[in-house]
Amino acid sequence: MRNLVAIVGKPNVGKSTLFNRLVQKREAIVDPTSGVTRDRQYGKSDWNGREFTVIDTGGYVVGGDDAYEQEIDQQVIIAIEEADAIIFLVDVEIGINALDEEVARLIRRSNKPVFLVVNKVDSALRIPATTEFYSLGMDNLFHISAINGGGTGEVLDALVEALPDNDIDYPDDLPRFAVVGRPNAGKSSFVNALIGEPRNIVKDEAGTTRDSIDTIYNRFGFDFCLVDTAGIRRKSKVKANIEFYSVMRALRSLEYSDVCMLVFDATRSFDTQVKNIFWLAARNHKGIVILVNKWDLIDKEKQSTKEVTAQIREEIAPFVDVPIIFISSLTKQRVYKAIETAVDVYHRRAQRISTRKLNDYILPVIEKNPPPATKGKYVKIKFATQLHSPHPQFAFFCNLPQYVKEPYKRFLENKLRAEYDFSGVTIDIFIRKK
């Protein structure tokens, strides 16, 4: 389970620069103008074998008149409350001011592991100036240069040492099925229909579910944890502070899940945000089932299940091997079929194929359709095996792995899907030197 680390501080101290360095991508906008970061940025990072999620927060400004500043201030407070550890970033060029002292006061109330990091220490001549920040009352002081990476290793060594082994303790380590989707798609109604009681509040207005709600559930002789999450909107649409908190919890529930049940409103299009949620689950290698909800409201003469299925598969290409179930949470139409399918996807995600069985099938396929020659070089794949991992990963060993391109990897994946049932499950193909 991935811990959450928040980067906080006043405006223009280099939070987004440090965020980009930790996630090793240029995801956050970096600009010398204060207030550039408004929406929260999330990214994955790892150090010494420990993975964690990093949040880039906006600059904290006390008593700002701008509506954005007030909203950012509240979201910084939420991020501090939700984080497992906090990087408090300050600027050696500016020194301490009232904003640093106010942020320090907020952080001290959190009782979280805090790392006071003095940024922009680009030369040894600036190191003596960092000692003044001890007056903020924090012992874990480090000096770095976020722009060139100097000193970040020492911060990360201490950070991962302080992170808890498990930031959330789930009961009995049960498999987790997350019900995700846009606001007002019928996620809570689906959960209520399954368990047969109004466990979660249901209203017509979007945003009713504020937090991820766990329900221990048994079906088909199988125990698992069913998680109703808040609707995930586009970042530009997340306005209320409580909704920011809800979306953050929903994203964490998705990351911690084994299977994502993506609830899609049949009366609306399979739009960009629904696709974003789908690909977020796919990139995290979760099992996926798409549930087309409110199917009872559709005129079947104008729209058939076959047509809608084809439209959805076109939108999610090339990962089209995903179960699509048409349900109605109101009438309970096929809701049990939906959960049965999700259980099947969970088992498919965990299935193991013996090395002998795999090679008996795939090597003749490869011999008949070998990788295309490149620059007169012929690739010979001699052996394949499934790797030990939470989701299916396969390694193919050959003489010239650098000449095996993505189209041939997709060919191998399609052949594996044709022989074995991996519907709803992502597959990774690795080509290695024998």
Please give, one letter per residue, the 3-state secondary structure of 286-332: CEEEEEEECHHHCCCCCCCHHHHHHHHHHHHCCCCCCCEEECECCCC
| CA dist list (Å): 29 to 14, 15, 37, 336 | 11, 10, 7, 45
Which has the minimum average pLDDT: 116-130, 186-200, 359-373?
186-200
Please tell me which residue, 228 or 195, carries the higher pLDDT value.
195
Q: For the chain, report the end-to-end CA distance as a whole number of angstroms.
A: 33
What is the dihedral sign for C-alpha 235, 241, 245, 250? negative
Whole-prediction pTM: 0.58
Alpha-carbon distance 65 to 63, whole Å?
A: 6
Which has the minimum average pLDDT: 136-150, 252-266, 344-358?
252-266
In this prediction, residues 104-109 reach a mean pLDDT of: 87
For 78-102, what is each residue's pLDDT tens digit?
Answer: 778 878 999 999 999 999 988 889 8
Q: Average pLDDT, whole number, for the chain?
A: 81
Alpha-carbon distance 99 to 73, whole Å?
A: 12
pLDDT(328) > 50: yes
pLDDT(250) > 70: no
Alpha-carbon distance 284 to 176, whole Å?
A: 14
Residue 70 confidence (pLDDT): 56
Alpha-carbon distance 396 to 412, whole Å?
A: 10
In this prediction, residues 263-276 reach a mean pLDDT of: 86
Residue 127 confidence (pLDDT): 93
In this prediction, residues 247-271 reach a mean pLDDT of: 80
Residue 240 confidence (pLDDT): 44
Residue 308 confidence (pLDDT): 94
Q: ∠119-123-125 over CA atoms, to 5°?
A: 105
What is the bridge-based pairing of β-strands 114-119 and 41-47? unpaired
**Single-letter code of the amino acid located at 121:** V
pLDDT(213) > 80: no
* Token pair for 177: 């099925």
Please tell me which residue, 133 or 252, carries the higher pLDDT value.
133
pLDDT band of 212, cuts 50, 70, 90? very low
Whether the ω angle into residue 318 lies within 30 degrees of 0, i.e. cis, is: yes
Alpha-carbon distance 400 to 377, whole Å?
A: 8
What is the dihedral sign for C-alpha 204, 210, 212, 215? negative
Alpha-carbon distance 363 to 140, whole Å?
A: 56
For 1-57, what is each residue's pLDDT tens digit?
Answer: 468 898 988 888 988 899 989 988 654 433 343 333 334 466 778 898 888 888 887
Alpha-helical segments (H) within 317-391: 335-350, 355-368
Residues whose CB is less than 8 angstroms from the CB of residue 370 and which lie 6 or more positions away in sequence, other chains included: 378, 379, 380, 381
**DSSP assignment of 64-129, as one string?**
--SHHHHHHHHHHHHHHHH-SEEEEEEETTT---HHHHHHHHHHHTTT--EEEEEE---SGGGGGG
Residue 42 confidence (pLDDT): 67
Proportion of the chain above pLDDT 70, given as a percent:
77
pLDDT band of 234, cuts 50, 70, 90? very low
pLDDT band of 113, cuts 50, 70, 90? very high
Residue 355 confidence (pLDDT): 96
Q: Which of 42, 40, 38, 34 is nearest to 10 (CA)?
A: 34
Segment holding 47, helix H or strand E: strand 41-47
pLDDT(369) > 50: yes
Q: ∠324-328-331 over CA atoms, to 5°?
A: 150
pLDDT(69) > 70: no
Please tell me which residue, 71 or 236, carries the higher pLDDT value.
71
